[in-house]
Every structure is written in structure tokens, then in C-alpha cells.
């Protein structure tokens, strides 16, 4: 009877302990990272379209320099619409896969006014130099998968809880692929898509942070959203 009571009390005690994230390093951590990236790849294969809201902060010498907020629309095959709320409220960029130019509508109160700009035009590149056709999640997932295979990783640091997966990735910079950098990536286990991406110099200071929220996956996005009428 005493043993049964003791076992019962132990079960009650451990059931109230807080749940701590799983933490792995070394080869085990690298295996877990590979598994998470494979789930991300598999999940995105089933994504026909998505929308999300993003905030991107760029840093200079470790200090915040520029901040962008926008709503992002994506539809396969590579149709993109970006609606800015900061620092250019109302500005919209349209891109259709395979084209060499993007369309920019700068003012919501002048809907007929629009410009066609080459993909490499600095006016429609991010402060880091990223083109509009390099901003969707499919492109980012390809970047992660390629670097995980081609770049020698340090000890694989991996954390996981009920809702998220977090890991570090050593990768060549995503603009020109010339410089080794570190990326701290957080995935939502609901969609297996990134919700936080931190880009760091090897010395540890931040270069860029992207927060993504309010994913809507495979909704009926009207084709007209991607046409600059």
C-alpha cells in the first residue's frame, strides 16, 4: 500500500513540473536540424499560395539602421505581391516569375501611376541587396537546404518545444554567396515554416532580423492580386 501511494505521489509531482525544451548538440543536434529542414521542404511542396506579415530590421555596426514592415503574397509559380506599410506606406511591388522586370505602384491615391523596373535596380532591392524574386519562402528553404549540405556545420545546436524548433545554420551569405555567416532560424511546427530569422556576422553581431507572422496557407487568392491593373 505504501509503495502504491509513493508511486502515485511521484506521478502527481512530475506531472506538474514545467516542460523544458529539448536541447541537443553535436551529431545529434545536426541530425535533428536535418530532420527539421526536410520537414520544411516537404511542407512547402504542398503550399500553392500563402500570405504573411513581416517586419525586417537591418543593422549597421550592431545598431538598428532601417526597419521595414509589409504584407507578402505568394502564389506558385513565383507570383509575388508586396504591400508596404513602413517606410513607404501604400507602395506595392508586383512580380511574375520568369520576367526580368517588376512593377511598382508607389502611391495608393494614384493607382494609375506605375513603373517597370529591372530586377537589379537598387530601388527595388532590399538594403542587403536581395532581389524581389529572392524574397519568397521557397527561395529561402532552398538556401537553407543547399547550405546545410555544402557548408561544414559547427556543432549542431538544436532546441525544440511543443510549438517551435530553433537551430543555428552556418551558410554563405544569401546575396552573393561569398562570405560565411550564421543564421538563427525559428520554425513554427504548425506550418513548418520560418517565423524568425536572425542573420549574424561570424563575430556575433547582428546584420538582419526578420519576424514573420499571420501565415495563411492555401487560401483562394484572386489572380488579380498579382496583376498591376
pLDDT tens column, 25-73 = 556 778 899 999 999 999 999 999 999 999 999 999 889 999 999 999 9
Per-residue pLDDT band at 215 (split at 50, 70, 90): very high
Per-residue pLDDT band at 15 (split at 50, 70, 90): very low
Whether pLDDT at 20 is above 50: no
Mean pLDDT over residues 10-35, rounded?
A: 57
Q: Give pLDDT, residue 30.
A: 85
Q: Are 82 and 71 contacting, i.e. CB atoms less than 8 angstroms apart?
A: yes
pLDDT tens column, 120-153 = 999 999 999 999 999 999 999 999 999 999 999 9
Q: Which residue has the higher pLDDT, 17 or 95?
A: 95
DSSP output for 140-196: HHHHHHHHHHHS---S--EEE-SSEEEEEEEEE-TTTS-SEEEEEEEEETTTTEEEE
Measured distance CA(115)–CA(93) in Å, rounded:
10
> Cell 504542398 sits at which residue?
46
Q: Give pLDDT, residue 24.
A: 52
Neighbour order of strands in the sheet with 22-24: 22-24, 158-160, 164-172, 180-188, 193-200, 206-217, 49-60, 63-75, 79-86, 92-96, 101-105, 115-118
List b or e across 71-97, with b for residues whose CB sees 16 or more CB atoms inside 10 angstroms: ebbbbeeebbbbbbeeeeeebbbbbbe
Q: Are 187 and 200 contacting, i.e. CB atoms less than 8 angstroms apart?
A: no
Whether pLDDT at 18 is above 70: no
Per-residue pLDDT band at 211 (split at 50, 70, 90): very high
C-alpha 141, offset from chain centre: 8
Q: Which residue has the higher pLDDT, 68 or 111?
A: 68
Domain boundaries, the chain: 22-226
Pairing of strands 63-75, 49-60: antiparallel
Q: Give pLDDT, residue 228.
A: 87
Mean pLDDT of the chain, nearest integer? 88
pLDDT tens column, 219-228 = 999 999 999 8
Q: Give pLDDT, residue 109.
A: 85
Q: Are 146 and 183 contacting, i.e. CB atoms less than 8 angstroms apart?
A: no
CATH superfamily ID and name for 22-226:
Lipoprotein localisation LolA/LolB/LppX (2.50.20.10)
Whether pLDDT at 186 is above 80: yes
Q: Give pLDDT, residue 156.
A: 66
CA atoms within 13 A on the CB side of 27: 0
Pairing of strands 158-160, 164-172: antiparallel
Amino acid at each position: 500500500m505504501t509503495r502504491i501511494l509513493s508511486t502515485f505521489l511521484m506521478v502527481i509531482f512530475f506531472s506538474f513540473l514545467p516542460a523544458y525544451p529539448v536541447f541537443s548538440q553535436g551529431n545529434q543536434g545536426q541530425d535533428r536540424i536535418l530532420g527539421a529542414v526536410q520537414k520544411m521542404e516537404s511542407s512547402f511542396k504542398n503550399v500553392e499560395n500563402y500570405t504573411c506579415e513581416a517586419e525586417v530590421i537591418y543593422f549597421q555596426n550592431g545598431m538598428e539602421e532601417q526597419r521595414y514592415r509589409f504584407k507578402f503574397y505568394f502564389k506558385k509559380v513565383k507570383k509575388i505581391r508586396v504591400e508596404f506599410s513602413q517606410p513607404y506606406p501604400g507602395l506595392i511591388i508586383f512580380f511574375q516569375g520568369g520576367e526580368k522586370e517588376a512593377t511598382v505602384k508607389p502611391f495608393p491615391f494614384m493607382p494609375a501611376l506605375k513603373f517597370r523596373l529591372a530586377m537589379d535596380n537598387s530601388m527595388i532591392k532590399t538594403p542587403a541587396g536581395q532581389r524581389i524574386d529572392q524574397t519568397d519562402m521557397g527561395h529561402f528553404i532552398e538556401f537553407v537546404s543547399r547550405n546545410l549540405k555544402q557548408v561544414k556545420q559547427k556543432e549542431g545546436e538544436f532546441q525544440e518545444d511543443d510549438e517551435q524548433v530553433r537551430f543555428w545554420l552556418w551558410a554563405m551569405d544569401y546575396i552573393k554567396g561569398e562570405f560565411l555567416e550564421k543564421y538563427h532560424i525559428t520554425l513554427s511546427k504548425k506550418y513548418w515554416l520560418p517565423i524568425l530569422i536572425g542573420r549574424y556576422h561570424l563575430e556575433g553581431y547582428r546584420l538582419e532580423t526578420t519576424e514573420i507572422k499571420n501565415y495563411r496557407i492555401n487560401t483562394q487568392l484572386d489572380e488579380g492580386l498579382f496583376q498591376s491593373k
